[in-house]
């Protein structure tokens, strides 16, 4: 056992499987008391069971650590509050929350139903809000704490997961808002965009060239929760970890600006925009086009 998080209390959502489980185990191994939240659902979000969260608590206890299970649904305000209340009731404080819970309902945008959109956005985006909301109220008073959201490289856009991509983009803006709003209270907020072998990544339609294990992601999260990361004043950041690679994503900013003469008309913009501000090509679109060309070339009569 290490002591990177000695004396801290950390709550992890989606901690029953995959990356969340690895985060919960690593936090406990580094000395934190852990609230293990998991609703115990299928990839699509159905068939909840409390066994999944309990199983990880047993694993932590067997390894000599301290943990408690909360099997609630964090896409509800009551569920998010329960996660934080359990930390306070059992351990008297909350130093970090890590929002890992997620589901997938894949469909092309033009076929996507409300039942495919709402639960995905509710689990990822609202499920990060409910826990951040409850935890930040306590951390503000404590004058310390760390909020960690889980996003994805897919926040850049996705062919067949507009619901997931939109939620993951929202999480980045939520994290940056939390970083700004809680800065003066000594609370940091960061996001992780992982690539790791789990049941969820096994479902990704395209080949993932760079991929690692949930334990690599857990090591990054432990660092972000630690006093070492606070000392470096790390906040408002998005990190990818994929096997041996760690990357930081850029902050959104205006790429290029040009000044014409107002008042604008559509025609004057049509004459002005293409040769001045132009476009910022989408890397994901270039990849799609490459893949389409490769598929075309691979056809027998291509």
Ligand X SMILES: NC(=O)c1ccc[n+]([C@@H]2O[C@H](COP(=O)([O-])OP(=O)(O)OC[C@H]3O[C@@H](n4cnc5c(N)ncnc54)[C@H](O)[C@@H]3O)[C@@H](O)[C@H]2O)c1
Just list the catalytic residues: 152, 164, 168
- Give the C-alpha separation, 207 to 171, whole Å: 24
- Per residue, the 3-state secondary structure of 54-65, as one string, reads HHHHHHHHHCCC
Among 8, 150, 176, 187, binds ligand X (CB under 6 A): 150
| DSSP symbol at 206 | S
Q: Assess 96 for contact with ligand X (CB under 6 A).
A: no
Number of H helices, E strands in the chain: 10, 8
Q: Assess 155 for contact with ligand X (CB under 6 A).
A: no
- Residues with Cβ within 8 Å of residue 21, at least 6 apart in sequence: 15, 56, 214
Strands (E), the chain: 9-13, 33-37, 66-70, 96-99, 145-150, 187-194, 238-242, 245-248
159: helix, strand or coil:
coil
Residue closer to ligand X (CB basis): 43 or 288: 43
Question: To the nearest whole angstrom, how small is the minimum distance from the Cβ of residue 235 to ligand X?
Answer: 20
Question: To the nearest whole angstrom, how small is the minimum distance from the Cβ of residue 184 to ligand X?
Answer: 29
Q: Assess 170 for contact with ligand X (CB under 6 A).
A: no
Q: Assess 19 for contact with ligand X (CB under 6 A).
A: yes
Among 65, 80, 194, 236, binds ligand X (CB under 6 A): 194
Listed ranges 72-80, 221-229, 256-264, 284-292: which one lies at the site for ligand X (CB under 6 A): 72-80
Among 101, 131, 175, 229, binds ligand X (CB under 6 A): 101
- Give the C-alpha separation, 146 to 66, whole Å: 20
CB 69 within 8 A of CB 50: yes
Among 4, 45, 229, 235, binds ligand X (CB under 6 A): 45
| DSSP symbol at 212 | B
User: Which residues ranging from 215 to 254 are in contact with ligand X (CB under 6 A)?
Assistant: none
Strands 96-99 and 66-70 come out as unpaired
Among 4, 39, 132, 239, binds ligand X (CB under 6 A): 39
Q: Assess 201 for contact with ligand X (CB under 6 A).
A: yes
179 phi/psi in degrees, rounded to 5: -60, -40
Q: Which residue's structure tokens are 């925009």?
A: 273
Q: Assess 100 for contact with ligand X (CB under 6 A).
A: yes
Residue closer to ligand X (CB basis): 37 or 188: 37
- Among 169, 166, 173, 164, which Cα is nearest to 204's? 164
- Give the C-alpha separation, 166 to 131, whole Å: 19
Question: To the nearest whole angstrom, how small is the minimum distance from the Cβ of residue 290 to ligand X?
Answer: 21
Q: Assess 167 for contact with ligand X (CB under 6 A).
A: no
- Give the C-alpha separation, 123 to 105, whole Å: 11
Minimal CB distance residue for ligand X? 18
Listed ranges 4-12, 32-40, 259-267, 293-301: which one lies at the site for ligand X (CB under 6 A): 32-40
Listed ranges 195-203, 225-233, 249-257, 260-268: which one lies at the site for ligand X (CB under 6 A): 195-203
Among 65, 80, 127, 236, binds ligand X (CB under 6 A): 127
Q: Assess 200 for contact with ligand X (CB under 6 A).
A: yes
Question: To the nearest whole angstrom, how small is the minimum distance from the Cβ of residue 283 to ligand X?
Answer: 17
Binding site for ligand X (CB under 6 A): 13-14, 16-20, 37-41, 43, 45, 52, 73-75, 100-103, 123, 127, 150, 152, 194-196, 198-201
């Amino acid at each position: 056992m290490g002591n990177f998080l000695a004396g801290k209390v950390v709550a992890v959502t989606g901690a029953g499987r995959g990356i969340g489980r690895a985060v919960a185990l690593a936090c406990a191994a580094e000395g934190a008391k852990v609230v293990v939240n998991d609703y115990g659902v299928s990839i699509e979000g159905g068939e909840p069971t409390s066994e999944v969260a309990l199983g990880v608590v047993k694993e932590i206890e067997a390894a000599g650590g301290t943990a408690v299970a909360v099997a609630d649904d964090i896409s509800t305000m009551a569920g998010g509050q329960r996660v934080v209340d359990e930390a306070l009731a059992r351990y008297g404080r909350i130093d970090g929350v890590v929002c890992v819970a997620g589901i997938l309902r894949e469909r092309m945008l033009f076929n996507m139903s409300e039942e495919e959109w709402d639960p995905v956005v509710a689990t990822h985006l609202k499920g990060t809000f409910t826990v951040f909301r409850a935890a930040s109220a306590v951390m503000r008073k404590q004058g310390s704490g760390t909020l960690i959201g889980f996003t994805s490289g897919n926040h850049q856009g996705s062919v067949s997961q507009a619901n997931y991509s939109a939620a993951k983009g929202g999480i980045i803006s939520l994290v940056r808002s939390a970083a700004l709003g809680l800065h003066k209270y000594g609370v940091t907020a960061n996001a992780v965009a992982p690539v790791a072998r789990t049941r969820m990544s096994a479902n990704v339609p395209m080949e993932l060239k760079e991929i690692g294990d949930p334990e690599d992601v857990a090591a990054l999260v432990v660092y972000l929760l630690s006093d070492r990361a606070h000392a470096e004043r790390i906040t408002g950041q998005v990190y990818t970890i994929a096997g041996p690679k760690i990357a930081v994503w850029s902050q959104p900013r205006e790429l290029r600006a040009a000044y014409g003469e107002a008042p604008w008309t559509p025609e004057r913009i049509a004459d002005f925009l293409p040769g001045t501000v132009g476009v910022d090509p989408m890397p994901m679109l270039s990849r799609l086009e490459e893949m389409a060309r490769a598929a075309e070339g691979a056809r027998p009569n291509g």
